Every structure is written in structure tokens, then in C-alpha cells.
């Protein structure tokens, strides 16, 4: 190949390369993602639940194995995803061998938990032309009201941040037993668009790199799991074996307690045979002979012509202002007949 032909071949190659570069620049992809069909996106829920699980796995409850424990969750009320946090801590306690009690008075140890942070952050980075809203007065009929976003590269990063703390104490002696310490746990998700193509999804909630929800094995690497505290993870499947002797003793104690409660209830309903219901003082008492009414000491007016207590028979009606006719008949019967 002579020098002129070599120069011609090189110029053709450079021209083809430039044409391909221009074509790749003009022909860009376009990817869209539905953010959410619910009040909270699935990504947000995955970020928070993953961070909660890691924070709970970092709590070492092995020192409470075999001890009667009451879990106090009053300081978790009102926190985002409080139900998931409470259930995860209870599961962790049980997996470490603690004996959970439903009533505080039945336990010796109390585990109290609180949350410092449960939330998400989002950061967006755009290389290109952002969306611009045009002034209303500058618009002409038929012209768009805004210039759409023209990204050459775009990246969105979301983080779920959780900071939990717990401690245990003996409620009989009031002494501290254990505390977990506090530091934030994060779970992240990174979405990337290149020339409008994407999203390429990476982060701790994904296994490797995904493209528009599909796993890509050629790009990226799986993130290394963070080492948690010793013990069974709350996300691991497991089966537990009950202590038969402990179960039998608890059932026996519960049956004895139920029998005692039934006996006390039956004895409270028993009524003695000699019991007589109380009767108001104004009515005759049953089983008693009514006593004679005491004679009135109030003197009778001389104008009435009667005396009380004639021949030892006192009329209670006359002494209390009763019928004068009845008093007269009584005196008439006691007078001698001529």
C-alpha cells in the first residue's frame, strides 16, 4: 500500500469513527420509572426495614438468656415503622433465649428501647439541562410551557437511616445490666441514568447491579454484608425447641392458680344458713316480740277533760294526738254502773 492509499484509508476510518460517534450522541435512550402507586415507595420501605434489621442484629441480648424479661416499648410509640421495630426486638430477645413476660410484675428484668432516627434522605445529581418553566407572558399559542429535562447523566441516591438503642436493668434491685450503645445504621439505593438510559440500580438493598429491575452480572459487585452481633439474625429462618420441663411446670402452676381463684370465688358466694337480712328499724324485726310503746309524758290539756293512763291503760293514739272519741269510750267502759 503506497502512502497515498494509506492516507486515504486513514481518512476514511477517521470519518467513519466520527460518524459513529455523532450517531451515538444523537441516538440516546430514554428510561422512565413509576415512582410509587402507594403512599410510600417500595424502595423507601426496603431502605427502612433493612436498616432496622441491621440495627436490631447489632444488639447482643445473650446476657439475658434464661431470664424472665419484660420488653418496655413505650418510647417507640409514634416512630415510623414502630410495629416492625417492636416485633424485630421481641424476635431477637426470644432467639437469644430470653423468657418474655406479658406483664411487667411477672418479670425480673426490663428491656427498654428507644429510637433516635428513623427516616430517609435523597440526593439528586444531574449533568445536562434541567427542566425550565417558561414565563407565562412570553408564551405564544401552541408553544410548550416548559423546556423538558435533557440529561446526559443523572444519579439519584436514597438512604435509609436508623439509630436504635436499648438497655436492660433489674427492676427488683434497680441495677443496670446491659446497654447496646447508639450509632446510626444506613441502607442505600443508587439509581443512575446515562444518556437517558436506565436506571442502573445499585446499593445495599440489591444483590449486585440491576438494570431497570433486572440483574446484571457483568457490572458492579455485590456489596459485602456488614458483620452484626453474635446470635441469630432476625432475617434468618430457624426453628426453636421448647423446654418440656419448663412448659410442664408453668402449666401446673397456672392450673393451681386457677383452682385457687375458683375456690375463692365459690366461697365468696356461700351464704350462712342463720343469716337474716337486715330490716329497717321502722318495721318489726323478725323473730322478736314487739315491745310496748312507752307512755307519753306530755300532759293533756285540762280543756279536753281526759287523763292519760287511766287504770294503767295508756292509749298511744291519745298521747300522740289520736282520736278523742276512742279515748272517751275507753273511760266510759271503766266507770261503775249505778
Pairing of strands 146-147, 150-170: unpaired
| Per-residue pLDDT tens over the stretch 13-36 | 655 655 655 555 544 555 555 555
Question: What does the alpha-carbon distance between residue 35 and residue 25 come to, in Å, rounded to a whole number?
Answer: 28
Q: Are 107 and 69 in contact (CB under 8 A)?
A: yes
**Span 302-326, mean pLDDT?**
45
Q: Which of 189, 193, 188 is nearest to 211 (CA)?
A: 193
Grid coordinates 435533557 are at which residue? 150
The percentage of the chain sitting over the pLDDT mark of 70, rounded to a whole number, equals 58
The whole-angstrom separation of Cα 162 and Cα 183 is: 9
Each residue's pLDDT tens digit, 178-213: 999 888 999 999 999 888 788 888 999 888 888 766
pLDDT in tens, 246-289: 778 877 887 888 888 888 877 776 655 555 555 555 555 555 55
Statement: residue 75 has pLDDT above 60: yes
CA distance 108 to 317: 75
DSSP string, 81-133: THHHHHHHHHHHHHHTT-EE-SSGGG-SEEEEEEEEEEEEEEEEEEEEE--EE
The reply to whether the predicted model has a pTM over 0.75 is no
Higher pLDDT, 89 or 332: 89
The CA-CA-CA angle for residues 74, 75, 80, to 5°, reads 105
Q: What is the pLDDT of residue 310?
A: 41
- Give the per-residue pLDDT at 134: 74
Using the predicted structure, report yes or no on whether residue 171 has a pLDDT greater than 60.
yes
For position 258, what pLDDT does the model report?
A: 85
Look at the block and give the residue holding cell 424502595: 43
pLDDT tops 50 at residue 316: no
Q: DSSP for 159-202?
A: EEEEEEEEEEEETTT--EEEE-----EEEEEEEEEETTEEEEEE
**What is the arithmetic mean of pLDDT over 5-13?**
57
Q: Are 70 and 100 in contact (CB under 8 A)?
A: yes
What per-residue confidence (pLDDT) applies to 275? 52
Instruction: Report whether pLDDT(319) > 50.
Output: no
Q: pLDDT tens digit string along 96-149?
A: 999 999 999 999 999 999 999 999 999 999 998 888 887 765 556 666 677 788
> Is 314 within 8 Å of 296 (Cβ atoms)?
yes
Amino acid at each position: 500500500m503506497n502512502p497515498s492509499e494509506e492516507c486515504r484509508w486513514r481518512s476514511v476510518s477517521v470519518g467513519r469513527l466520527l460518524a459513529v460517534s455523532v450517531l451515538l450522541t444523537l441516538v440516546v435512550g430514554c428510561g422512565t420509572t413509576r415512582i410509587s402507586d402507594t403512599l410510600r415507595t417500595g424502595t423507601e420501605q426496603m431502605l427502612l426495614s433493612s436498616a432496622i434489621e441491621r440495627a436490631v442484629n447489632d444488639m447482643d441480648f445473650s446476657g439475658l438468656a434464661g431470664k424472665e424479661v419484660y420488653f418496655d416499648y413505650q418510647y417507640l410509640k409514634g416512630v415510623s415503622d414502630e410495629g416492625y421495630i417492636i416485633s424485630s426486638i421481641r424476635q431477637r430477645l426470644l432467639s437469644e433465649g430470653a423468657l418474655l413476660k406479658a406483664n411487667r410484675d411477672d418479670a425480673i428484668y426490663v428491656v427498654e428501647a428507644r429510637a433516635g432516627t428513623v427516616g430517609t434522605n435523597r440526593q439528586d445529581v444531574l449533568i445536562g439541562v434541567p427542566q425550565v418553566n417558561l414565563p407565562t407572558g412570553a408564551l405564544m399559542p401552541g408553544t410548550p410551557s416548559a423546556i423538558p429535562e435533557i440529561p446526559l447523566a443523572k444519579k439519584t441516591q436514597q438512604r435509609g437511616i436508623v439509630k436504635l438503642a436499648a438497655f436492660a436493668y433489674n427492676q427488683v434491685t434497680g441495677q443496670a445490666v446491659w446497654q447496646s450503645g447508639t450509632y446510626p445504621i444506613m441502607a442505600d439505593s443508587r439509581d443512575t441514568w446515562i444518556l437517558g438510559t436506565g436506571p442502573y440500580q445499585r446499593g445495599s438493598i440489591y444483590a449486585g447491579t440491576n438494570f431497570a429491575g433486572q440483574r446484571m452480572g457483568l457490572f458492579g459487585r455485590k456489596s459485602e454484608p456488614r458483620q452484626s452481633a453474635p446470635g441469630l439474625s432476625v432475617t434468618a429462618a430457624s426453628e426453636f425447641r421448647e423446654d418440656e420441663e419448663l412448659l410442664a411446670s408453668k402449666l401446673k402452676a397456672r392450673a393451681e392458680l386457677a383452682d385457687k381463684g375458683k375456690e375463692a370465688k365459690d366461697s365468696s358466694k356461700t351464704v350462712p344458713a342463720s343469716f337474716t337480712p337486715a330490716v329497717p328499724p321502722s318495721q318489726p324485726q323478725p323473730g322478736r316480740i314487739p315491745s310496748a310503746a312507752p307512755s307519753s309524758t306530755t300532759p293533756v290539756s285540762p280543756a279536753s277533760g281526759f287523763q292519760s293512763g287511766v287504770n294503767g291503760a295508756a292509749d298511744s293514739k291519745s298521747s300522740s294526738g289520736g282520736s278523742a272519741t276512742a279515748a272517751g269510750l275507753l273511760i266510759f267502759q271503766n266507770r261503775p254502773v249505778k
